[in-house]
Amino acid sequence: MAEQKITIKNGKLNVPDQPIIPFIEGDGTGPDIWRASQLVFDAAVEKAYGGKRKLVWKEVLAGEKAFKQLNNWLPAETLDAFREYLVGIKGPLTTPVGGGIRSLNVALRQELDLYACVRPVRYYDGVPSPVKHPELTN
């Protein structure tokens, strides 16, 4: 099995047996979260595909680690990797204070045209909500 990029054709992702997935470890608790998450992702793929598929992780830099190594909070190479490999994952990123730097999370979403941050919502009868008719929220 050779590691390969995920491709897209006619709006459908084509995922090889060993897809290369870029990841940003993240800042603060990011490294700890990443170590645990990577084990879970790898175990899930192993369980689902019985060893026939495997994720190939490719670290790309952003945040404090990128700034320390490259003097750049969000290198173009990182954005290019997410565009090239189509799928990626990131840990929590620090937003630098001062210097007119915008949130790295916002910058990533805008640069990669990912404007939705969809989060699951569940309505519990009797729990106060600032939303009118929360029971109708889907």
63 in a domain, yes or no? yes
Nearest to 58 by CA among 21, 93, 86: 21
Structural domains in the chain (count): 1
Can you give the residue range of the structural domain that contains 62?
7-136
Does residue 116 fall inside a structural domain? yes
CATH of the domain at 55: 3.40.718.10
pTM of the entire predicted model: 0.80
- Residue 88 belongs to a domain: yes
Q: Mean pLDDT in the chain?
A: 91
Q: Helix, strand or coil for residue 37?
A: helix
Integer distance in angstroms from the first to the last C-alpha of the chain?
41
- Tracing tokens 């889907």 back to the chain, one arrives at 138
CA 77 to chain centre: 16
Residue 60 lies in a domain: yes
| 1 within domain boundaries | no
- Report yes or no on 2 lying in a domain: no
Establish if 95 belongs to a structural domain: yes
Residue 20: inside a domain:
yes
Task: Give residue 138's pLDDT.
Answer: 67
Provide the pLDDT for residue 126. Answer: 87
Q: What's the pLDDT tens digit per position in 59-106? A: 999 999 999 999 999 999 999 999 999 999 999 998 877 766 778 988
